[in-house]
Amino acid sequence: MLQYLAGQAQDLVLNVLAAGPIPRHVAFVMDGNRRYARQNQKRVQDGHADGFVALRRILEVCMKLRIQCVSAYAFSIENFKRSPEEVEALMELAEKKLLELCQHGDLLDQYGVRLNVVGRKDLLPAHVRAAADKAESMTRDNKRSILNICMPYTSRDEITTAVESSVRQSLVSQGAQTLNAKDIHISEKDIEANLLTSLGDSPPLDILIRTSGVKRLSDFLLWQCCEDTQIQYTDTYWPDFGLRELVPILLDYQRREWRKQIQCKPPQ
């Protein structure tokens, strides 16, 4: 009965929120899994597993609100520098959860969500890369929303790759056979079009949220959040992050959007 009432209360809150402006794209730096594990006398891998439960919980909330795109920073390229035991545990968890997410009848299938694994997939172990390819393939025809699992990812690597692609495209368009500075014509729009998120059809980033109280971006979506993105920090560790923490962030977004509309409204 208590669980039913909690579900009803959550749906009521979501219905109220849905009456206002809804962001198109929300991104999460899912920080604090290891500190959460230490605080709760758990193994580090159990903290990461609880973090995945939090991702499912938040993803379902976002889907009920009809948010078009959710991006989650799951594994940085720099994370390969962690202990071999932790990296191996994270890779095993990633393989298991990627396949679990895209099963028939599971969350992505239920809400029509296409999964994109964004990052240097060539750096992943073969079994994780195979799981990522399978998950992407199984959800490719889902059209309602997008889930970007960013792993292994850094924004600097994404921007570098986008610039390289833009240069190659410029040379091809000019019919150039060798690299010559005078033949290269690229713009910000060219680079943006070649970002991994753009190639995966992600809309512009409206909100970026980092948990655990750390106030830095940690090389995540730096290009995407450089202009008109609301950046929010919360002290809550990611596994504990839920609707209670998300609601004030969404209300703040709605207040800003309403303020913009008022400012842009011509005088009577």
- Separate counts of helices (H) and strands (E) for the chain: 10, 6
31 is catalytic: yes
Find out whether 79 and 90 touch, Cβ atoms under 8 Å: yes
- Structure tokens given for 139: 């959800």
Which of 195, 70, 199 has its CA nearest to residue 145? 70
First CA to last CA distance, the chain: 52
**What letter does residue 175 receive in the DSSP assignment?**
T
Written as one string, the DSSP assignment of 183-230 is: G----HHHHHHTSHHHHTTPPPP-EEEE-TT----TTSSTTTTSSSPE
Task: Tell me the C-alpha distance between 210 and 262, whole Å.
Answer: 29
- Structure tokens given for 47: 């903290």
Q: What is the dihedral of CA 135, 35, 153, 192, to 10 degrees?
A: 100
Out of 11, 31, 109, 183, which one is annotated catalytic? 31
Task: Tell me the C-alpha distance between 34 and 238, whole Å.
Answer: 10
Q: Could you list the active site residues?
A: 31
